[in-house]
Amino acid sequence: MADHFEKNERFDQGMKTRRSVLGDAHVDRAQTVTTGFDRPFQQLITEAAWGTVWSGNHWTKRERSMVTIALLAALGQDDELAMHVSATANTGASPEDIREALLHVAIYAGVPAANHAIKIAKRVYDEMDADKTSREET
Residues 36-73 pLDDT 10s: 999 999 999 999 999 999 999 999 999 999 999 999 99
Say how many domains are in the chain: 2
Whether residues 67 and 135 share a domain: the answer is yes
Residues 53 and 105 in one domain: no
Domain limits for position 50: 7-57
pTM for the whole structure: 0.92
2 in a structural domain: no
50 and 66 share a domain? no
26 and 93 housed in the same domain: no
Concatenated DSSP letters of the chain? -GGGS---HHHHHHHHHHHHHH-HHHHHHHHHH--TTTHHHHHHHIIIIIIIITT-SSS-HHHHHHHHHHHHHHHT-HHHHHHHHHHHHHH---HHHHHHHHHHHHHHT-HHHHHHHHHHHHHHHHHHHHHHHHHHH-
Same domain, 76 and 120: yes
Q: Kindly state whether residue 1 falls inside one of the protein's structural domains.
A: no
